[in-house]
Chain A
Amino acid sequence: MAIYPTETGHYGSFGGRFVPETLMPAILELEKAFKEAKEDPDFQEEMRYYLKQYVGRETPLYYAERLTATLGGPKIYLKREDLNHTGAHKINNTIGQALLTQRMGKKKVVAETGAGQHGVATATVSALLGLECIIFMGKEDVRRQALNVYRMELLGAQVVSVDQGNGTLKDAVNEAMRYWTANVEDTHYIFGTAAGPHPFPQIVRDFQRIIGDESRKQIIEAEGKLPEAIVACVGGGSNAIGMFYPFVDDRDVKMYGVEAGGMGLPTGKHAASLTEGKAGILHGSLSYLLQNEDGQVQEAHSISAGLDYPGVGPEHSYLKDAGRVTYDAVTDEEALEAVRLLSRTEGIIPALESAHAVAYCKKLAPVMDKEDVLVVCLSGRGDKDVNTIREAHETGGDSYD
């Protein structure tokens, strides 16, 4: 496929830089700094050092033998991003952007967070590199994720509760963008997902592509071939694009992006922007978006806070329209079942986000051969979700024993 994004930050008709003029100079400065960093061996060496010694890479590509046997389909391998420091793939990006922040001579960072994983990953690298850190988090999420709020504060970050709008992740992004607009001279915005204005989708992809690069090498070592299929969950889409990107030109590798189907697509209470949305502009880029007829952005719904976002990264929109990746959705209930499945078969409690990808394996298993290989991005661990999962059990939505 052609190389994306274009010089102007477009992926086909998607992407772009839809931000106020006040931010444009910072966006252009960031683009320049990122280009230079990519070419700078010292920066690459610094990245490698922190990813190995601090984050704990490379992460294993683990053959899930009992899960494979239970589902009775292809050999399933799990890319263990849950084993990273802070428990998810988010830190691959925050460490990179924090180093970019230093490179640009800025000393402060701002970020948004939903469940708190990106906030924690940002607060962590800020502590590591001595950056001042402010995190915007929706009021509802602050209440639901009190432990992560405390975790960020323990790491020295200031957490601001956002009660504008509906107090969700989308509103936290709005408020972080407003804060950035007012403090752009000395502050970098560490965007957490592969969305937002160019160059963020590219930066996040390039910092996350290590997931796919490692997986590609590891699966060839383990199986002597490329996988038949790859699965990853998609909210904004950072773990998925990181996993998919190095395989895009491997035409025989099928790729599946799994969105949050919430209470079911027909209920309208979901976060499936690619499956159910239409093209629109939110948070700086043109991409598939959950919106009403009048162009008002709709609230997303998912049991998984990390997928609870009405937009999605523009490169996913491009890959959907190009027919390269199949996007589908699984419900809250299916994700909860997958949490139990993976916990009981492998002793791995997945994050609710990642459980969406695991749930999709159940759908793929019957249509794939036993000789086939399926790689799943296990983007994060479920410690943060234990309360949510327990509450879901207790309200009896599922037949848990």
Chain B
Amino acid sequence: MTKAQLDNAFLTVSEAGEKAFVPYIMAGDGGLESLNERIRFLADSGATAIELGLPFSDPVADGPTIQAAGIRALEAGTTVQAVLDEVAKEKASRNVPLVIMTYLNPVFAYGVEAFASACAAAGISGLILPDLPLEEEGLVVEALQKHEIALIRLVALTSTPDRIRALAERAEGFLYAVTVAGTTGERATFVDQLGTHLQELKEISKAPVLAGFGVSTPEHVKELSQYCDGVVVGSKIVAALHQGDRQQVAELIRSIKQA
């Protein structure tokens, strides 16, 4: 059921002729007690799915905004278990799929099989591990399959054609198209060839293609979503929630409808 919930959400969006919007939030930033309320707010604002960051001490794929959010969450005492327990509370009533984004070590320390099992119990649909390339995914694939958790793979601008093909063929949940050569965080512009790159991915991917990293304005959302199935917005959402600017978050999510 878990993985299927994510697939269904994308199917619903695409059948309506719309694009997907997946906001990222850092679990524990702003207090774990506000987590479920934030998830409801994002779902009510129109999020297709929600990416839930589990903080890690050494987030090499993240820029300053998400790094800072992770430090706030860790300083507030956020643990893997506490986050899973918290989201499990509203599993039955939640109407939006959740995907966890974290690094391999917290999962490894928890135990890969135990983590996959706990994710399934908490109603998590997918897992994104930016420091787990194709070459190493054998560490987690079996456990995730067993518990029907999608392993969401990232494709980079630097990926070679053979790697892109391999990633697209294995794609499940969605294929995460990294839109910049670099870390997460706001950018003014993207490379010229990005549109073509996204279109090519969409042609061969077995799962929806979502663009992310550096997507931060309604203009970005409109521009990028025309080439693929939707967008992931992280740093901008994290920063706006931290500042208490929910209106900006809602406007960003709405911008996908005008795409």
Which residues of chain A have a CB within 8 Å of any CB of chain B?
8, 16-26, 164-165, 170-171, 174, 177-178, 181-185, 279-284, 286, 289, 291, 293-298
> B182 an interface residue at 8 Å Cβ cutoff?
yes
Contacts A25-B156, A182-B183, A280-B105 supplied; 11 other A-B pairs, CB < 8 Å: A19-B131, A20-B61, A24-B133, A24-B158, A24-B159, A164-B67, A165-B67, A170-B58, A181-B60, A281-B103, A296-B74
> B189 an interface residue at 8 Å Cβ cutoff?
no
- Given known pairs A22-B178, A25-B163, A293-B109, the reply for A178 and B60 (CB within 8 Å) is yes
Residue of A nearest to B183 (CB): A178
CB-based contact B155/A282 at 8 Å: no
* CB < 8 Å neighbour of B158 from A25, A293, A296: A25
Q: Binary interface profile of B, 154-189, with partner A (CB < 8 Å = 1, else 0)?
A: 111111100100010000000000101111000000
Give bound CA distance, A26 to B156, whole Å: 12
Q: For residue A150, give the distance in angstroms from its CB to the closest CB of chain B.
A: 27
Give bound CA distance, A283 to B163, whole Å: 22
A-B contact pairs, 9 of them (CB 8 A): A18-B104, A19-B60, A22-B159, A181-B182, A183-B181, A279-B108, A281-B105, A281-B131, A297-B58
Give chain A residues whose Cβ lies under 8 Å from the Cβ of B61: 20, 178, 181
> B141 an interface residue at 8 Å Cβ cutoff?
no
Give chain B residues whose Cβ lies under 8 Å from the Cβ of A16: 135-136
Give bound CA distance, A294 to B79, whole Å: 6
* CB < 8 Å neighbour of A295 from B63, B110, B135, B159: B110
Give chain A residues whose Cβ lies under 8 Å from the Cβ of B158: 21-26, 184-185
> B195 an interface residue at 8 Å Cβ cutoff?
no
* CB < 8 Å neighbour of A20 from B55, B57, B80, B133: B133
Residue of A nearest to B135 (CB): A17
CB-based contact B57/A297 at 8 Å: yes
Give bound CA distance, A23 to B178, whole Å: 12
Give chain A residues whose Cβ lies under 8 Å from the Cβ of B155: 21
Q: For residue B227, give the distance in angstroms from its CB to the closest CB of chain A.
A: 19
> B106 an interface residue at 8 Å Cβ cutoff?
yes
CB-based contact A20/B60 at 8 Å: yes
Give bound CA distance, A294 to B83, whole Å: 12
Q: Binary interface profile of B, 43-82, with partner A (CB < 8 Å = 1, else 0)?
A: 0000000000001111111011001000100100001110
- Given known pairs A18-B136, A20-B60, the reply for A184 and B109 (CB within 8 Å) is no
- Given known pairs A16-B136, A19-B131, A296-B56, the reply for A282 and B105 (CB within 8 Å) is yes
Give bound CA distance, A351 to B19, whole Å: 60
- Given known pairs A165-B57, A174-B60, A280-B108, the reply for A24 and B163 (CB within 8 Å) is yes
CB-based contact A18/B181 at 8 Å: no
Q: Number of B residues contacting the other chain (C-beta, 8 Å)?
A: 45
Give chain A residues whose Cβ lies under 8 Å from the Cβ of B71: 165
- Given known pairs A18-B104, A165-B58, A174-B58, the reply for A294 and B154 (CB within 8 Å) is no
Q: For residue B242, give the distance in angstroms from its CB to the closest CB of chain A.
A: 17
* CB < 8 Å neighbour of A18 from B55, B59, B80, B131: B131
Q: For residue B253, give the distance in angstroms from its CB to the closest CB of chain A.
A: 26
> B132 an interface residue at 8 Å Cβ cutoff?
yes
Most chain A CB within 10 A, of B58, B136, B157, B167, is at B58
Give chain A residues whose Cβ lies under 8 Å from the Cβ of B130: 20-21
Give bound CA distance, A289 to B178, whole Å: 29
* CB < 8 Å neighbour of A280 from B74, B81, B109, B133: B109
Interface residues of B in 82-125 (CB under 8 A from A): 103-110
3 A-B pairs closest in CB distance: A295-B109, A182-B182, A295-B106
Residue of B nearest to A28 (CB): B160
Q: For residue B39, give the distance in angstroms from its CB to the closest CB of chain A.
A: 22
- Given known pairs A17-B135, A19-B133, the reply for A182 and B181 (CB within 8 Å) is yes
CB-based contact A295/B105 at 8 Å: yes
Give chain B residues whose Cβ lies under 8 Å from the Cβ of A183: 181
Give chain A residues whose Cβ lies under 8 Å from the Cβ of B109: 280, 291, 293-295
Give chain A residues whose Cβ lies under 8 Å from the Cβ of B74: 296
Residue of B nearest to A295 (CB): B109
Most chain A CB within 10 A, of B64, B135, B180, is at B135
Q: For residue B75, give the distance in angstroms from its CB to the closest CB of chain A.
A: 11
Give chain A residues whose Cβ lies under 8 Å from the Cβ of B183: 178, 181-182
Give chain A residues whose Cβ lies under 8 Å from the Cβ of B56: 295-296
CB-based contact A296/B131 at 8 Å: no
CB-based contact A294/B106 at 8 Å: yes
Give chain B residues whose Cβ lies under 8 Å from the Cβ of A291: 105, 109
Q: Binary interface profile of B, 123-148, with partner A (CB < 8 Å = 1, else 0)?
A: 00000001111111000000000000
Q: For residue B186, give the distance in angstroms from its CB to the closest CB of chain A.
A: 14
Q: For residue B165, give the distance in angstroms from its CB to the closest CB of chain A.
A: 13
Give chain B residues whose Cβ lies under 8 Å from the Cβ of A286: 108
Residue of B nearest to A175 (CB): B60
Give chain B residues whose Cβ lies under 8 Å from the Cβ of A25: 156, 158-160, 163
Give chain B residues whose Cβ lies under 8 Å from the Cβ of A8: 135
Q: Binary interface profile of B, 191-213, with partner A (CB < 8 Å = 1, else 0)?
A: 00000000000000000000000
CB-based contact B60/A177 at 8 Å: yes
Give chain A residues whose Cβ lies under 8 Å from the Cβ of B178: 20-22
Give chain B residues whose Cβ lies under 8 Å from the Cβ of A17: 133, 135-136
CB-based contact B156/A20 at 8 Å: yes
